[in-house]
Amino acid sequence: MRKPPVTILVSVLITSIVGLGSQLLAQSPPNAAIPVHATLNQLMRSVQFPLSNVIFASQADEPASIKRAPLPSAATDPLRSVFGGWQAVENSALALAESSTLLMLPGRVCANGSPVPVQDADWVRFVQGLRTAGTEAYRAAQSKSQAKMLEVSEQVSNSCSNCHRVYRRAGPEGADDLTNRCKLN
Ligand code: HEC
């Protein structure tokens, strides 16, 4: 028998790899493909909180006039780092927009052990609000206008509180009672 031409072999190989991939996806639990490491509360404290503070700070202090740290390559304040000033505001805004994708990953739990409600239409809407606020903040930072940062900071802040009002409600025992976290009612 004659050998099949190389191109056919390659396409057969690709087809079988693609087929295998979709079979694996279909059989795996939803969170097996992308691992998650933090509870929602830990994620908020480590990602959304510090990023939005860089955006909020640009209302009061003109980023271009913020002095670099003595060693900018080791700075812990993004505004004073080697990528500081307006670039730090741009980067934080972009990272905040990107962080909304992390809020949609299945498999993450909240501090009370409830799964992050990524299937709720309200949750999806609030996450989209954060994504939009992040991209708007990026545009405002690009324009280097503190007046625009003032406006967009309100949008960012609202995107946080809109979700917190629903999904971070205090429990019957008060603010430290986590019972209602990540639940609609
Ligand atoms: C889509 C919903 C949602 C959005 C958007 C959101 N959060 Fe949260 N956030 C939560 C929930 C729910 C909790 C409680 C998580 C838990 O208990 O595990 C929380 C917790 C936090 C905490 C921890 C509070 C504490 O007591 O430790 C901080 C800080 C925080 N969020 C900041 C922010 C900031 C800043 C933004 C906007 C830039 C934001 N969040 C946007 C849902 C959201």
How much distance in Å is there from the Cα of 39 to the middle of ligand 1? 11
> How long is the chain?
185
- State residue 2's pLDDT score: 55
Selection from 63, 62, 51 nearest residue 160 by Cα:
51
47 to each of 27, 39, 52, 54, 170, how far by Cα in Å? Answer: 31, 12, 9, 11, 22
- State residue 30's pLDDT score: 54
Chunked mean pLDDT (size 10), the chain, 185 residues: 50 44 48 87 98 97 98 98 98 98 97 97 98 98 98 98 97 94 89
How much distance in Å is there from the Cα of 41 to the middle of ligand 1? 6
Q: Which residue's CA lies nearest to atom 2 of ligand 1?
A: 163
Q: Would you state the structure tokens that stand for residue 66, as one six-digit string?
A: 């913020």
- State residue 162's pLDDT score: 98
How much distance in Å is there from the Cα of 144 to the middle of ligand 1? 28
What's this model's pTM, rounded to 2 decimal places? 0.86
Which one of 94, 168, 169 would you pick to mutate in the ligand 1 pocket, going by the greatest count of ligand atoms within 8 A of its CB? 168
- State residue 33's pLDDT score: 81
Selection from 125, 117, 107 nearest residue 182 by Cα:
117
User: What does the radius of gyration of the chain's CA atoms come to, in whole angstroms?
Assistant: 22
How much distance in Å is there from the Cα of 46 to the middle of ligand 1? 10
Q: At what angle do helices 49-60 and 146-167 cross, to 10 degrees?
A: 140
Nearest ligand 1 atom, CA 129: 5
How much distance in Å is there from the Cα of 4 to the middle of ligand 1? 58
Q: Which residue's CA lies nearest to atom 24 of ligand 1?
A: 41
